[in-house]
């Protein structure tokens, strides 16, 4: 199977404008994400898909591969679907531009989920290591069935721990997705769904159209950059692994 990684990259993010061009160590956030994805060696191609000439030039001028979106898009999945529509590819992995610390083992497990022909979409999750973040709406939670198929994603606390005599496990959804090409193109043909619009979580569109996501558990602890204080955490994390 031909496997590619696409990194959708918007310039004007709502909660932290221009975050992908913020300096992190000796590179911008988006360059860390791109370079670390390439360094895994798992993909036939790695491409940044952006609406910004600034981000496009940042990648191209440093020897990377990038394409400009031709249309305005509401979600990262819509953005990369436009890019792959005419590509000869089997599996597309969507790496979030604000997740600069890519873990090769996690992505390898995600790609191997497609050895099962029934899997159309897969994504990553991990047990919350900091319980104080469970109630933070910037961290998306996911609940799964016993086969690790997704049941629901939410910014709210799920599950609700009513019976405290029973242990409850809380999973954080890591915003890395992989799709079969058909599943990704189908996504763009469906109208945005009520839960997706209410929660601002695009993968809910799959659930509301009857497509479950295979969730792959990881223990990798990176840093997602949603708000300015996350950049401080990312800088500390980068120094700790350098």
Residue 201 pLDDT greater than 80, yes or no: yes
Residue 74 pLDDT greater than 70, yes or no: no
Q: Which CATH number does the domain housing residue 119 bear?
A: 3.90.550.10
- Which range is least confidently modeled, 81-90, 149-158, 211-220? 81-90
Residue 38 pLDDT greater than 70, yes or no: yes
CA–CA separation, 154 and 173 (whole Å): 9
- Answer for the pair 196, 208: CB distance below 8 angstroms, yes or no: yes
pLDDT digits 0-9 by tens, 214-239: 999 999 877 888 888 999 999 999 99
Q: Considering the entire predicted model, what is its pTM?
A: 0.87
Residue 102 pLDDT greater than 80, yes or no: yes
Mean pLDDT of 237-242: 88
- Counting every residue, how long is the chain? 242
- Answer for the pair 59, 48: CB distance below 8 angstroms, yes or no: yes
- Answer for the pair 47, 66: CB distance below 8 angstroms, yes or no: yes
Domain region containing 11: 3-241
SS3 218: coil
Mean pLDDT of 31-60: 96
Distances 115 to 30, 77, 128 between C-alpha atoms, Å: 30, 22, 28
User: Would you list the DSSP string of 10-73?
Assistant: -SS-SSSTTGGGSEETTEEHHHHHHHHHHHT---SEEEEEES-HHHHHHHHTTT--EEE-SS--
pLDDT at residue 12 in the model: 77
Looking at the chain, the number of H-run helices and the number of E-run strands are 8, 11
pLDDT digits 0-9 by tens, 158-169: 999 999 999 999
Mean pLDDT of 71-77: 70
| Number of domains within the chain | 1
pLDDT at residue 211 in the model: 97
Residue 66 pLDDT greater than 70, yes or no: yes
CA–CA separation, 79 and 83 (whole Å): 7
- Answer for the pair 134, 141: CB distance below 8 angstroms, yes or no: yes
- Please report which confidence band the pLDDT of residue 79 belongs to, taking 50, 70 and 90 as the band edges: confident
Residue 93 pLDDT greater than 70, yes or no: yes
Q: Long-range contacts for 204-207 (Cβ within 8 Å, ≥24 apart)?
A: 204/153, 206/121, 207/150, 207/151, 207/152, 207/153
């Amino acid at each position: 199977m031909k496997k590619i990684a696409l990194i959708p990259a918007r310039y004007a993010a709502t909660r932290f404008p221009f975050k992908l061009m913020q300096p992190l160590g000796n590179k911008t956030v988006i360059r860390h994400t791109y370079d670390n994805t390439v360094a895994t060696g798992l993909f036939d191609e790695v491409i940044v898909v952006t609406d910004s000439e600034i981000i496009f030039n940042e990648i191209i001028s440093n020897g990377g591969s990038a394409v400009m979106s031709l249309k305005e898009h509401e979600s990262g999945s819509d953005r990369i679907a436009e890019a792959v529509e005419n590509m000869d590819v089997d599996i597309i992995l969507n790496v979030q531009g604000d997740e600069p610390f890519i873990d090769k083992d996690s992505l390898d497990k995600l790609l191997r989920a497609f050895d099962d022909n029934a899997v159309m979409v897969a994504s990553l999750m991990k047990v919350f290591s900091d319980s104080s973040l469970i109630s933070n709406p910037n961290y998306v939670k996911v609940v799964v069935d016993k086969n690790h198929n997704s049941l629901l994603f939410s910014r709210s606390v799920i599950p609700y721990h009513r019976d405290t005599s029973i242990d409850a496990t809380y999973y954080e959804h890591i915003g890395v997705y992989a799709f079969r090409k058909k599943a990704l193109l189908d996504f763009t043909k469906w109208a945005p769904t009520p839960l997706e619009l209410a929660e601002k979580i695009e993968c809910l569109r799959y659930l509301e159209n009857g497509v479950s996501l295979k969730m792959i558990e990881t223990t990798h602890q990176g840093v997602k950059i949603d708000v300015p204080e996350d950049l401080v955490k990312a800088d500390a994390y980068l120094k700790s692994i350098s």
